Structure 1
Amino acid sequence: MEKDLFRKVYKQVSGLALKDCPPSSLSGLLHGYLSVYSMVRVYPWLEDEYGSLWDIHDRIREIARVIQELLKDRDLPVDTRAGYVVDLMDAYLLYSDMKFLDTALDAAYEILIPKGSDKMVLPCRTPNICRLLCNCYYFTGEDECGMLAKNLVTEALGISRKFSHEELWDWWGAICFYEDVVGAMELSLEEQISLEEERVRLTTCVKQRKDEMIERFMGSAGEDLGALANVFKILAKRNFYEYNELNGKAFR
């Protein structure tokens, strides 16, 4: 059933003109297409269904260019700017356009280092800032970025039971991103056991949240482009995972 829904959603997002999409939908669209690109790259026969790698690549570049333009607005809320920076960095990992990376890194350090200072100061303690620090660590190797990201993840895990559904969704993505980019945290055995228990709980909660989002979307007219983008992102990743399981591969 989800495969049929994904085909329908993919057809819908493929027909979208980006100028008609609200900025809040661009991250979901970008990451959905990144998953589709990875899926088609690993399983080339899927080009017949989802289009050529070049076409998908071109769509990702198109979205990234829109995000790059949005990033020029320095009056945006800092958390919103941080999200755009992370999106550009994610696009760079595929597209390898140094302009994207240079723009993103310049904006990242504008966010993290106040004007006239040479020290990093976190402007807020959000999932986007955590992901921003992780990407800065990945691209520059600055240990301070990794340590600051670790502090945010530790704080988030400590209060995760107080999160709203939306906060849980956002922080879970940041926590997984931290582990992918920076690595597993060095913890005592007791802390490792506690973390694993929390991971199981969070995984269940986040899956439930995603399922609810899909159900709401299916019951709607499909005109909410923000919801469409989020469902596209969820289903694209699930489809990729499913193909990996069927073919005995394990990619994150």
Structure 2
Amino acid sequence: MSISANLTLELFNKPFLLEKRIDLLIAIKKFGSINKAAKEVPLSYKAAWEAIEDMNNLSNTPIVIKETGGTGGGGTKLTEYGENLLNTYLILKEEQKKFLENLNRITDINSGTLKTIRRLSMQLSARNQIIGKIVDINLGSVNAQISLELKNDKKLVSIITLNSVENLDLKIGDEVVALIKSSNVLISTDTNIKISARNSLRGKIESINKGDVNSEVIIDILNGDKVVTVLTTNSLEDLGLEVGLEVDAIIKASDIMIGK
């Protein structure tokens, strides 16, 4: 027994994008013909056009349009809006798949219990939650080294237990979240410093929230990714940190948790 669900997007409280309609849009993109697309799904020609007209009528912008003329005598194609909508749905579908896989993994439907359901709504205290893709997994006797590629093409290395790799079912190509406490992020203004920490992310200080004892520094490491660190105000002043200054955010591999 397992958990499954269909994904339907509604507009004005009416079904707008159902999985059958998505299959139809994919087929229209593939063949450029409503007749061929209907046979691919399969749907009758009439049902296919009714689905298209229903989507176009609900939407402020047409999703599918007819083309006339040309060597092939015309055809049917997705509009730019329709292409974007299809791509968005497929991304949502992939995220739904990951959610359901996680739900199946952490629950035990066969015994009738949902013993770990609270994990799905758990709030995390880690200030830094950075999305990355696993590009390498190096398994040791006890721990594993997980190498991530971030959106800005920078790399992060995390050391976690083999049990964690198995429990999370980590694989190369998986999109995961690197979780880092702000207190575990060090700052260096010396680009030539030699350190034992595996991770050094170059960025520019975006903002500083200065307090009497501790201060918060937010570092922009490009492509929308930011790293937050908390350090003493004395350290802030000793390092001469200010907005716009380029620094390195230094993080030990053992201080990076992985979430999926």
TM-score past 0.5 threshold: no
Quick check: which has more Rg, 1 or 2? 2
Higher percent of residues as helix: 1
Q: Normalized against structure 1, the TM-score is what?
A: 0.21
Q: Normalized against structure 2, the TM-score is what?
A: 0.20
Higher percent of residues as strand: 2
